[in-house]
Structure 1
Amino acid sequence: MTIPKKVVHLTTVHHPSDPRIYHKECLSLKRAGYDVTLIAQQDEETTEKEKPIRHIPLKTYKNRIKRMLFGTFDLYRKAKKLKADVYHFHDPELLPIGWLLKRKNNTVIYDIHEDYVTSILQKEYMSPFFRKVFAKMYKTMENIFARKMELCLAEKYYKDIYPTGKCILNYPTINEKFLKHDRKNQPLKNAVLYTGNVTEDRGALIHARLPQIDESLSVQFIGKCPSDLAEEMYSVAGNRSGQLLIEGIDQYIEKEAIEAMYVEHNWLAGVALFPPTDHYMKKELTKFFEYMNAGLPIICSNFPVWERFIDQYKCGIAVDPYDSSAVEKAIRYLRDHPEEARQMGENGKQAVQQELNWLSEEKKLIQWYQQLLQENSTILK
């Protein structure tokens, strides 16, 4: 009997139920016959026996410095004991750990979820000088530690930065509930939906203005939102603050709860009115694919990459996020033209079902693992 190859996914930053890490990569690898373990923070809401993937918990540190020092050491100690064939890690702070775990008889993969250089350069809590310093430090650290690692890229444009990386894109899994959800015969709710982490650089304060732009509109947020930011959003909404519905203040929201929200109402649209930043302007947001998967038209910022995407799939409207008149016009168009709005949502859903889904990426992931393990066994002979 062939012993399954041992795979360990590692993260100190992401939730143990992270959609990309757990629901896509770990579960796909397990279905393909690998022995999969996830080392991640403690999940206090889900018991171990409810999870099909073995989860080795880490202590949760709210302090970033303590997490990077003590959390990474704890992770390394636990990962080393497993003697895995493949270590697949997901956080830049784990680059030294990946380097320490690399041996001739194993493979180490660095899964790049973000363009970390531009991400660091837009951190508001750091001065511009320190942003530049830390961005340079990160790039130097990456160049040193990642030389003998394989690179897994979650976004197309990362290929420009890492030409040797393998694109395993963060497309959604096709959801049967979404397929059965009938938008055509449901009354249209005069509300838009935002899903995922709520942050200022993801347009939180722009979205909070929507009830002021269209006084009859409500905005439903579902995703982790810091309480201080939520208060600022309510302040921006002013006398319309009751039309901001925020589910996830200071708490992680599971993938299943977010998916249930998609079909709870016949939403007018999914929104992604982000301010212009180098970090997001080149990305095809995972949020786009999730809105499309649920059959929602998209209202998003008119960055060139985003506008081309919307035009290509005819799945929404791209507008200047700071032009209140243009935003109001887009909202009003979808409300006044429900059939056209439904068709935009249907166009997006069809695109996801036909090409922009995890099934295609799952095949690439499994084939890539097989290739890497084969190459590694050849080197050892």
Structure 2
Amino acid sequence: METKKRVVHMTTVHHPYDPRIYHKQCKSLEKAGFDVTLIARRDPKGNDGDKTINHVLLKTYKSRLRRMIFGTYDAYKKASALNADIITFHDPELLPAAWLLKKQNHVVVYDIHEDYITSIMQKEYLNGQVKKIAVSGYKLLEKFFTKGMGLSLAEKYYEEMYPDGVWILNYPTVNEKFIEHDRTGKVENKVLYTGNVSHVRGARYHAKLPVIDSELSVHFVGKCPGDLAREMYEVAGEQKNKLHIEGIDSFVEKEVIEKRYLERNWLAGVALFPPTEHYKKKELTKFFEYMNAGIPVICSDFPVWKAFVERYECGIAVDPEDDEAIKEALDYLKNNPEEASKMGRNGKKAVKEELNWQTQEYKLIRWYNGLLNQELSSGTGEEV
């Protein structure tokens, strides 16, 4: 009987049931016949997932520095003891641990979730010179530690920085409940925002929407720091009762978010972000999720985002600083229900046929099988 090949995923930063790590990669590899182990901290809520993925627990540290030092060492020791065929890590702070594991002749993959260079550059608590030094240092360390590793890219434009990387894009798992759900009946004056809430993800813009349109309420489903929630209520002022924030200081599970999509006949899914280098080239995961649910998208008019919604005819791109343009977009969807419904159908069709995790699952499994045969793929990610 052939022994299953063991794949280990490790993260010190992400939630153990992170959608990309757990629900997509781990489950896809398990379904394909791999023995999958996740090394991650415990879910703060004590949930055990579906218990089909072996979960090796890491200690939870309140201090970021202690986590980076002791958590990284703990992850290294636990991964080293598992005799894995492939080890995939998901956080830059694990680079030294991954390098040591590579030295032990493990096949190692770095799954790059973020554009960490622009992420550093937008840190408000660092001054300009410190940012430049930090970016230069990070580039050198990353180049040194990742030599000989496989690079998995969650976004197409990451290829600019990692030309040898492989696209394993962060498309959504097609939710058949969403596909089957028929958006009939009167559309409510309610818009939805899903995912983590932060300044750089447009928290203040979204909080201002009930001020722009007093008939509108905004529903946030995703982790939101308590101090930011208070700031958002202040931005909304007399309309603060129109803000509904689910996830204040608390991670919101994927299953809860999916349930919210189906509970109402939403006017739109919103993604009004301020212009930052970190986001303006991204194809946001929330776009795909709004589309999967058949909800029109209202987003910032960054060239990449505008081209995306126009290509798939699934929403409206507006200047996030232009209140009048935002109001016009909201009114257009209210006053043209047939066109709004068509945008929703177009989005569903695009996700079902093209923009879905199943297309990436196939590439991931084929690539990992190639790695096990010591055929490390190189080049761009359209073909693996």
TM-score bracket for this pair, using the shorter chain length: over 0.9
Residue 206 (structure 1) aligns with: 205
Residue 52 (structure 1) aligns with: 52
Q: Does 1:99 align with 2:94?
A: no
Identity of aligned residues (%): 61
Deviation by residue 1:18-58 (Cα, 9 ceiling, x = unmatched): 00000000000000000000001111434548421011111
The alpha-carbon deviation at position 193 of structure 1 amounts to 0.2
User: 123-132 or 81-90: which moved more?
Assistant: 123-132
User: Structure 2: how far apart are the matches of 1:371 and 1:11?
Assistant: 23
The alpha-carbon deviation at position 64 of structure 1 amounts to 1.2
User: Structure 2: how far apart are the matches of 1:139 and 1:255?
Assistant: 33
For 1:171, give the aligned amino acid.
Y
Residue 372 (structure 2) aligns with: 373
Contact map agreement 2:301 2:318 (CA 8 A) in 1: yes
Give the match's secondary structure for 1:222.
strand
User: Structure 1: how far apart are the matches of 2:345 and 2:16?
Assistant: 32
The alpha-carbon deviation at position 375 of structure 1 amounts to 1.7
User: Structure 2: how far apart are the matches of 1:12 and 1:186?
Assistant: 45
Structure 1 pair 103–2 and aligned structure 2 pair: CA distance change class (3 A) = farther
User: Structure 1: how far apart are the matches of 2:16 and 2:299?
Assistant: 29
Residue 381 (structure 2) aligns with: none
Deviation by residue 1:149-194 (Cα, 9 ceiling, x = unmatched): 11000000001111100000000001021022110x2321101000
Give the match's secondary structure for 2:37.
strand
Query: 1:93-132 counterparts in 2 under 5 A?
Result: 93-103=93-103, 105-132=105-132
Give the match's secondary structure for 1:375.
coil
Deviation by residue 1:248-300 (Cα, 9 ceiling, x = unmatched): 00000000000000001000000000000001111111111111011110000
User: Structure 1: how far apart are the matches of 2:29 and 2:220?
Assistant: 32
User: Structure 1: how far apart are the matches of 2:339 and 2:367?
Assistant: 41
User: Structure 2: how far apart are the matches of 1:73 and 1:375?
Assistant: 27
The alpha-carbon deviation at position 124 of structure 1 amounts to 1.1
Residue 34 (structure 1) aligns with: 34
Residue 361 (structure 1) aligns with: 360
User: Structure 2: how far apart are the matches of 1:371 and 1:84?
Assistant: 16
User: Structure 1: how far apart are the matches of 2:222 and 2:349?
Assistant: 26
Contact map agreement 1:310 1:318 (CA 8 A) in 2: yes
Deviation by residue 1:35-88 (Cα, 9 ceiling, x = unmatched): 000001111434548421011111111221111011111111111100111000
Contact map agreement 1:234 1:241 (CA 8 A) in 2: yes
Deviation by residue 1:209-254 (Cα, 9 ceiling, x = unmatched): 0000001100000000000000000000000000000000000000
Contact map agreement 2:17 2:49 (CA 8 A) in 1: no
Deviation by residue 1:323-346 (Cα, 9 ceiling, x = unmatched): 000000000100111111010011
User: Structure 2: how far apart are the matches of 1:48 and 1:249?
Assistant: 22
Query: 1:186-197 counterparts in 2 under 5 A?
Result: 186-197=185-196
Query: 1:125-274 counterparts in 2 under 5 A?
Result: 125-183=125-183, 185-274=184-273
For 2:53, give the aligned amino acid.
I
Deviation by residue 1:107-142 (Cα, 9 ceiling, x = unmatched): 100000111000010011222222222222111110
Detail structure 1 runs of 4+ shifted over 6 Å in the superposition.
none
Report the TM-score when normalising by structure 2.
0.96
User: Structure 2: how far apart are the matches of 1:76 and 1:204?
Assistant: 36
Q: Does 1:85 align with 2:85?
A: yes
User: Structure 2: how far apart are the matches of 1:49 and 1:330?
Assistant: 39
What is the aligned length? 376
The alpha-carbon deviation at position 104 of structure 1 amounts to 6.5
Structure 1 pair 49–245 and aligned structure 2 pair: CA distance change class (3 A) = closer
Give the match's secondary structure for 1:252.
coil
Give the match's secondary structure for 1:299.
strand
User: Structure 2: how far apart are the matches of 1:49 and 1:159?
Assistant: 33
User: Structure 1: how far apart are the matches of 2:318 and 2:286?
Assistant: 17
Contact map agreement 1:85 1:105 (CA 8 A) in 2: no
Contact map agreement 2:174 2:357 (CA 8 A) in 1: yes
The alpha-carbon deviation at position 105 of structure 1 amounts to 4.2
RMSD: 1.2
For 1:27, give the aligned amino acid.
K
For 2:170, give the aligned amino acid.
N
User: Structure 2: how far apart are the matches of 1:131 and 1:84?
Assistant: 37
User: 196-205 or 40-49: which moved more?
Assistant: 40-49
User: Structure 1: how far apart are the matches of 2:90 and 2:36?
Assistant: 15
Give the match's secondary structure for 1:117.
helix
Contact map agreement 2:16 2:42 (CA 8 A) in 1: yes
What runs of 5+ residues in structure 2 fail to find an aligned partner? Answer: 377-384
User: Structure 2: how far apart are the matches of 1:196 and 1:69?
Assistant: 28
Structure 1 pair 181–159 and aligned structure 2 pair: CA distance change class (3 A) = same
